[in-house]
Amino acid sequence: MQENHYGTCPLCESECGIEITVENNEIVSIKGDKSNPFSKGNICPKAVSLIDLYNDPDRLRYPVRRTERGWERIDWKDAFDEIGEKINDIRRCYGKDAVALFLGNPNVHYHGNLLYLGFLLRALNTKNRYSSSSLDQLPLMMTCHMMFGHQILFPVPDIDRTDYFIIIGGNPAISGGSIMTTGGAIQRIKNIRQRNGTVVVIDPVFTKTASLANRHYFIRPGTDAFLVAAMVNTVFEEDLCKLGRLNTFLDGAETVREAVQPFTAETVSKITGISANDIRTITREFCAAQKAVCYGRIGTCVQEHGTVTTWLIIVLNTLTGNMDRSGGSMFTTPALDLVGFTALAGEKGWFGRHRTRVSGLPDFSGDFPVVALPEEILTPGEGKIRALISIAGNPVISAPNGRLMDEALGQLDYMVAIDWYINETSRHAHIILPPTTILEHHNFTMMTNLAGVRNFAAYSKPILAKQPGTLDNWEIILELTARFLANPLLRFAVRFLKPEFILNFLLRFGPHGSGLKIWRSGLTLAKVAEAEHGIDLGPLVPRLPERLFTKNKRISLAPEMLVKALNELKTVIEENAPKRPDGLNLLLISRRNLLSNNSWFHNFRRMHTPANRCTLMVHPSDAKAKQIKSGNMVRVVSGTGNITLEAEVTDSIMPGVVCMPHGWGHNLPGVKLSVALENPGVNINDIIDNHRFDFSGTAVFSGVPVRIEKITLNVEHRT
Ligand SMILES: Nc1nc2c(c(=O)[nH]1)N[C@H]1C(S)=C(S)[C@@H](COP(=O)(O)OP(=O)(O)OC[C@H]3O[C@@H](n4cnc5c(=O)[nH]c(N)nc54)[C@H](O)[C@@H]3O)O[C@H]1N2
Ligand SMILES: Nc1nc2c(c(=O)[nH]1)N[C@H]1C(S)=C(S)[C@@H](COP(=O)(O)OP(=O)(O)OC[C@H]3O[C@@H](n4cnc5c(=O)[nH]c(N)nc54)[C@H](O)[C@@H]3O)O[C@H]1N2
Ligand code: SF4
Ligand SMILES: [Mo]
């Protein structure tokens, strides 16, 4: 007999509702859940691969230990005992900072991980924590910390009600949307146009999102700070500023006015590649719209001036009165208030409390920049990292200078990976601990709380029975925590903490919760679980100034550090172009593909396409200069190294820019991803410099100076 179950796809931030049809503990189909009030049946093809993950023969079903004879199965207990012993030995001999943690992207998608990692961090008490945040959204976290007083109080575009939507450096039609949980981004963007709104995309590539927009402008990679500064300047110059009620709880507008003065539409035009006329037109239209919002995402973060750009986008929304109002940039009123609870725990964010040992890079809220991890492992001396625990991450592929990261991980005295696969990173581990897969555990809509375009909550039960002797992510994290705790009482007590207990507590005492009273009509975990399609908690509502966490409960529009960083950009205006190394005439950027998920989706045959997806997009004019045609092999050379891949000549890309996907390059010795190895692709990060980072410490993936050359097949064989 077939049964339908309902759940959430946690593969990306979109958190789409899914309908899973099961027969005899086997999944027959995965479809969009039409009754889910948030995503309304929208999904992307990746959701179906939840089955492939479960069935993948390469997926580890039990812990393994690396031995001279190869990988060998090991009992969970023996694995935890060995890890406890080795890591504690290293801590005893070399100090607690000799053990580092790397936390990868999927951690944010599971309540179990998010709720338990804090315990592990406290038990290890190491300064050396690294995460994919400094490969991604750190500029936004830093800006939110400085402007609103809390690192994860994210402004979210109210895309369902806006009349004018500017997207800079984001491609939600492919990515599903990020720091904007949409559950169906494509439909929501289409809806804007259907209600006669305007969508403008600013991107060095004519993307799928651009194809949905009214207008698209090419921008030279890494120059968005100049563009947005000029937009803000235009607002002042043309007297379009309308702060309204925001004026009563905001400081720094005058400082911003002065700081952006040198950045006129005319002065930045040559730098950005967008005409002064276009810059002024977009700004005027934005200001004239009743409700408008400018949204920047990873393209605006992982670049040289990521934090300045991110800040200026928020400034633009604020000065035009679009902050915290319907159709503008808003804040969630979440079921589970991570912002509020972390504030109570004193985790609102900080910058530069600690410094890395080798280069003295500052931490952000306890996270050191990933760009510093290799040198912290490779540089001898006191305080060197000797052991690493990597949880749901693949830094060999995802971090800049992948080859150096690979070399560094190979030098560790001891490494543990919590992962399903023996991949580019986990192959360096001494022990790999595989958790249960997504359909075998509970899922709660974590990202919706932080960045939902509506307030919404859903909690789904495991669809497939958990196999005996397997552990969920949180159980592994908890067991490791217990091994590192010195206090036996804590070691005993921590094992009784169930995620459902914590989740229920947080929901009850969240903004929609029932509190202590069982008869009140608010949320409890049981109520959320009962609503199999999730619970709609209404549209975003104005939250300021109450929601601010700054000491004076005011928005800090002009944080000193950001104004200073903007001032430093004046020299670029004077020179009329950013500096670039000799001979590297092109700028490299990355892209996402609908059927890939960062580095870990290439082992599912269903996600394969006949056409090669790991190609280098080159504009016809750049291709002509080097006699390159689509299908030719090209070498891409940067200051860090070179890689060879197939060219795809297309006028969808701006002249002077080349673009390839990240997440490829699987053919490293020892990788056990049999399907991915059939078409391994190459790793873009092998040629990206880990010495280039934004002042928040975020890696610069966009706007990497490179040159390209055509190579013949003979040469290819020799290289
Ligand atoms: N299918 C799929 N979905 C994913 C992922 C995936 O790997 N595959 N990854 C997930 C993750 S971890 C994240 S963080 C999100 C990211 O979500 P998005 O931010 O939407 O990510 P991208 O699709 O990479 O879009 C970034 C866009 O920025 C453009 N860009 C690059 N450099 C610049 C620049 O200097 N200036 C401007 N203006 N634009 C620039 C690129 O051309 C690209 O179109 O996606 C998530 N969703
Ligand atoms: N050049 C370039 N580099 C980039 C980017 C870019 O746009 N361009 N994007 C950056 C971004 S936005 C991000 S977020 C990072 C991602 O960087 P990472 O987080 O390091 O990389 P992922 O590829 O997401 O790797 C996730 C790993 O976790 C495993 N995994 C998946 N789910 C689970 C789970 O539930 N539990 C456990 N234990 N393991 C799991 C997978 O097998 C995989 O090994 O990459 C960054 N790197
Ligand atoms: S868009 Fe994201 S959440 Fe939605 S089905 Fe695709 S991968 Fe899953
Ligand atoms: Mo990301």
The answer to whether the CB of 137 is under 6 A from ligand 2 is no
Residue 249, class by beta-carbon neighbours within 10 Å (0-12 exposed, 13-18 middle, 19+ buried)?
A: middle
The per-residue pLDDT for 713 is 66
Q: Looking at 356-447, which runs of residues are DSSP E strands?
A: 362-364, 387-391, 414-418, 431-433, 443-444
H or E segment at 575? Answer: helix 570-575
Residue 718 has pLDDT above 60, yes or no: no
- In this structure, which residue's CA is closest to atom 4 in ligand 2? 398
Minimum mean pLDDT range among 438-452, 503-517, 553-567, 582-596: 503-517
- Cis bond before residue 545 (omega within 30° of 0): yes
Rounded CA gap, 384 and 675, in Å? Answer: 37
The answer to whether the CB of 436 is under 6 A from ligand 1 is no
- In this structure, which residue's CA is closest to atom 3 in ligand 1? 175
The two structure tokens encoding residue 49: 């691969």
* Mutation to probe ligand 1, out of 181, 586, 587, 592 (largest number of atoms < 8 A from CB): 592
CA atoms within 13 A on the CB side of 152: 21
Q: Cβ(372)–Cβ(698) under 8 Å?
A: no
Rounded CA gap, 364 and 301, in Å? Answer: 15
Region for residue 205 given its phi and psi (left: phi exceeds 0; alpha: psi -120 to 50; beta: otherwise): beta
CA atoms within 13 A on the CB side of 415: 19
The 10s digit of each residue's pLDDT in 315-333 is: 999 999 999 999 999 999 9
Residue 258 has pLDDT above 50, yes or no: yes
Q: Which CATH number fits domain 64-126+369-438: 3.40.50.300, 3.30.310.50, 3.40.50.740, 3.40.350.10?
A: 3.40.50.740
The DSSP secondary-structure symbol of 202 reads E
pLDDT band at 514 (very low <50, low <70, confident <90, very high): confident
Tokens 């995309």 — which residue? Answer: 201
pLDDT band at 578 (very low <50, low <70, confident <90, very high): confident
The answer to whether the CB of 457 is under 6 A from ligand 1 is no
Minimum mean pLDDT range among 167-176, 316-325, 572-581: 572-581
Residue 426 has pLDDT above 70, yes or no: yes
The answer to whether the CB of 420 is under 6 A from ligand 2 is yes
The two structure tokens encoding residue 290: 């009743």
Q: Cβ(71)–Cβ(671) under 8 Å?
A: no
CATH of domain 138-334+558-570: 3.40.228.10
266 CA from centroid of ligand 2 (Å): 40
Mean pLDDT of 396-422: 98
The 10s digit of each residue's pLDDT in 469-507 is: 999 999 999 999 999 988 888 877 877 888 999 999 999
Rounded CA gap, 487 and 468, in Å? Answer: 30
Residue 715 has pLDDT above 60, yes or no: no
SS (H, E, C) 286-344: HHHCCCEEEEECHHHHCCCCHHHHHHHHHHHHHHCCCECCCCCEECCCCCCCHHHHHHH
User: What DSSP string runs through 46-72?
Assistant: GGGHHHHHHH-TTS-SS-EEEETTEEE
The answer to whether the CB of 186 is under 6 A from ligand 3 is no
Mean pLDDT of 227-254: 98
Rounded CA gap, 493 and 467, in Å? Answer: 26
Q: Looking at 349-469, which runs of residues are DSSP E strands?
A: 351-355, 362-364, 387-391, 414-418, 431-433, 443-444, 454-457, 459-460
Rounded CA gap, 698 and 711, in Å? Answer: 33
Rounded CA gap, 678 and 16, in Å? Answer: 30
The answer to whether the CB of 419 is under 6 A from ligand 2 is yes
Say whether 647 sits in a helix, a strand or coil. strand
572 CA from centroid of ligand 4 (Å): 29
Which residues are paired to 709 by β-bridges?
Answer: 635
Residue 714 has pLDDT above 60, yes or no: no
Structural domain boundaries in the chain: 64-126+369-438, 138-334+558-570, 578-710
Tokens 């928005």 — which residue? Answer: 555
Q: Which ligand approaches the C-alpha of residue 9 most closely?
A: 3
The 10s digit of each residue's pLDDT in 2-50 is: 999 999 999 999 999 999 999 988 899 999 999 999 999 999 999 999 9
102 CA from centroid of ligand 1 (Å): 22
The 10s digit of each residue's pLDDT in 532-559 is: 999 999 999 999 999 999 999 999 999 9
- Size of the chain in residues: 719
Rounded CA gap, 298 and 204, in Å? Answer: 13
Q: Which CATH number fits domain 578-710: 3.40.50.300, 3.10.20.30, 2.40.40.20, 3.40.50.970?
A: 2.40.40.20
